[in-house]
A and B are shown apart, each in its own frame.
Chain A
Amino acid sequence: MTPTTNEDAIFEAVTGLLGRHRPAGAVVTPATELGADLNIDSVAAMDLIMEIEDHFEIDIPVNQVGDMRTVGDLAGLVRKEVAAKQG
């Protein structure tokens, strides 16, 4: 798998996990804001992180949540953690 397709796959998976947070019909792009566009509050954020952790079998450092503004940021972090896990 080339890095590009891997990147796309992770973005797709993250978008899929956004599922019920996503307003019907909304198109999610890397620039979509987690708070503003998807209205994910702090409890829903933890829910989402759990789903992502379970799906990718990674642990997301909670202190990095504050730096994540968009779906692209989130996918980037997942990518980093997945890469770290694969060593």
Chain B
Amino acid sequence: MVKPTTTSNARLAFRSEGFATLAEGLDYAAGGETGVNFFGPRGDLLRALSYAELRGLALDFAARLAATRLKRGDRVGIVAETGPDFLVAFFGCQYAGFVPVPLPLSINFGGREAYVERLRGMLLAAGARAAIASADLLGTLQEAARPTATAFVATVRDLMDGPCVGGGLAPLGAGDPCYIQYSSGSTSFPRGVLVTQSAIAANARAIAVDGIALRQGDRCTSWLPLYHDMGLVGCCLTPILNQISVDYLATTSFARRPFVWLKLLSDMGGTISFSPTFGYELCARRAENGQVPALDLGRWRVAGIGGEMIRANALQRFAETFAPLGFDPRAFLPSYGMAEATLAVTFAKRGRGVTIDRVARGEALERRKVAEPARTASAPIRDFVVCGRPMPGYAVEVRDAHDNPLPERHVGRVCIQGPSLMDGYFRNADATRAAITPDGWLDSGDLGYMMHGELVVTGRSKDLIILGGRNIWPQDLEWAVERLDRVRAGDVAAFAVTGEEDEERLVVLVECRTRDPLEQVTLRRAVQATVQRVAGAEATVVLVPVRSLTFTTSGKLSRATAKGHYESGLLRDVAEAYEAGTAVPVEAFAATA
């Protein structure tokens, strides 16, 4: 039987500071008994790997990589499945002097082609010279890599069976890059954040010391994907740089059986775990339709929240559902950050739980952009979750369109400074210029205001769609829909609208060139299918009259205008607009088709 790694090291002193590189951090952690544990879909322990074993394998792998034609600094794409191989390859790159590029997994029905395109876009943008995946995904990755500069595509096992160099490894050093994070950008133009060794060292230290006060005896549990900043930095690299054991569940396993996450926390004595709001929501929803297992969640001291707009109601439901199992709502720890800052920027005060700022809706908030505290209970209100203060060394400034700082409670662009900000996107000067202000602050693309020095996020200024913690670039959806019959370039606008409980809903507007109701049904269905394939999400498809989408003077689609018109009711579905009430239900046709 596999034995999990221990929670505390017997002799090795707990240490959060003084690691200049990831390799140094793993070298130190390898002096103890802690490590990583991988659990199967039903919560059975499949594999345990102490940090000492991980280091040994990574060094071995590094020696094999060094024996290939790769040159120092070359990028190596690695499909980030939750398992030992990803960590071995990732740290192998650190020891051998190559820059790993974690690549995503895809789980949409019928989404293979879209996935291949996405992988290819990333391999091209990163100029990857090698690509690594499990045997299961090797074929897909090979297909993606065909027209790219990759010298080889292999599994970890393939390389381990190959030749190796006798010694003389030169790990990535303090002044070197660490990895490239692709979590934003469209399929054709992915934007990779180049994370340096100094950025990861600074952010991991700040998270551990200032954010969650990691200490000996803590244990981390995670189902977050390792190709995402929250999963990689928050629940993998930070624990390693603090010699903390981690219990991993694959994201797909969590999505299938969310309670396994809670069971692991209970069984293994996890004290730290992070999730976007939707993870907590999924558990609460599953509890409504079924039996809640007998678990002990009393040791869970940091239930971190981040990755998407934090929704207080969903968290409240989670807290109420799991209070009988010992879950303490004060464990909730709202945070704010993004890949461009490596990961974290602000944390709420520990032990406080979720704090809500209740503001008045209406003229002040919508027109003057001022978040005034709600005074009467009867007037319309809007609740926002307070995301906390910037960590020491970091700064958040809310600015207007001309980069002037705004006073407290004024809504504007959230701009950031700190020791782990990216220098820029990898080989993408245009995107970098658009994200960094002339005076060197990062424009997060989010909107928010400050309240007593704490950040409150209210929405996004940029077009990025975030669904269930996943970033979806509207262009990807628009381009895919434009390729359909009867749809032309410039006919489509995709955006997210925010519902009453801050949940995001995807809306796709398509200019409709046919008046035939049957053809409209076919088109609607085709658009829905396309969105499912590309993004694995349900969309409200609205067929709008021709020429109702607006473009900027430079010919760019104005999604903000389209969204405004849709939300105000100015843009309506042709079926609804012409003959209200006679729209043909899609299902009726799908059934007879």
A residues engaging B (CB < 8 A)?
23-27, 32-37, 39-43, 45-47, 49-50, 53, 59, 61-63, 65-70
Q: Which residue of A lies closest to B113 (CB)?
A: A66
- Residue B107 is within 8 A (CB to CB) of chain A in the complex: yes
Bound Cα distance from A43 to B536, whole angstroms: 8
Inside 8 A of A67's CB, which chain B residues have their CB? 110, 112
Inside 8 A of B587's CB, which chain A residues have their CB? 23-26
- Residue B188 is within 8 A (CB to CB) of chain A in the complex: no
Bound Cα distance from A54 to B72, whole angstroms: 48
8 Å CB interface, B249-293 against A: 250, 252, 255-257, 282
Given contacts A35-B532, A50-B257, contact A40 B591 (CB under 8 A): no
Taking a contact as CB atoms under 8 Å apart, the answer to whether B110 and A61 are in contact is no
- Residue B578 is within 8 A (CB to CB) of chain A in the complex: no
A-B CB proximity, top 7 nearest:
A36-B529, A35-B532, A42-B536, A23-B587, A69-B110, A46-B255, A66-B112
Taking a contact as CB atoms under 8 Å apart, the answer to whether B107 and A66 are in contact is yes
Inside 8 A of B105's CB, which chain A residues have their CB? 62-63
Inside 8 A of B468's CB, which chain A residues have their CB? 43
Given contacts A46-B252, A46-B256, contact A63 B136 (CB under 8 A): yes
> Which secondary structure dominates chain B's binding surface?
helix
Q: Which residue of A lies closest to B586 (CB)?
A: A23
Interface residues on B, range: 35 or more
Taking a contact as CB atoms under 8 Å apart, the answer to whether B536 and A36 are in contact is no
Inside 8 A of B106's CB, which chain A residues have their CB? 66
Q: Please list 29 pairs of residues, one from A and one from B, whose beta carbons are closer than 8 Å in the complex, sorted by A's number.
A: A25-B588, A26-B591, A35-B109, A35-B533, A36-B532, A36-B590, A37-B525, A37-B590, A40-B109, A40-B532, A41-B532, A41-B537, A41-B538, A42-B107, A43-B282, A43-B468, A47-B255, A47-B256, A50-B256, A53-B256, A62-B107, A63-B140, A66-B106, A66-B107, A66-B108, A66-B111, A66-B112, A68-B109, A69-B109
B319 to chain A minimum Cβ distance, whole angstroms, is 21
- Residue B41 is within 8 A (CB to CB) of chain A in the complex: yes
- Residue B526 is within 8 A (CB to CB) of chain A in the complex: yes
Bound Cα distance from A15 to B587, whole angstroms: 17
Bound Cα distance from A53 to B50, whole angstroms: 31
Inside 8 A of B134's CB, which chain A residues have their CB? 63
Q: Which residue of B lies closest to A47 (CB)?
A: B256
Taking a contact as CB atoms under 8 Å apart, the answer to whether A35 and B529 are in contact is yes
Which of A27, A45, A61 touches B108 (beta carbons < 8 Å)?
A45
- Residue B528 is within 8 A (CB to CB) of chain A in the complex: yes
- Residue B115 is within 8 A (CB to CB) of chain A in the complex: yes
Bound Cα distance from A33 to B115, whole angstroms: 18
Bound Cα distance from A43 to B254, whole angstroms: 10
Which of B108, B115, B136, B137 touches A35 (beta carbons < 8 Å)?
B108
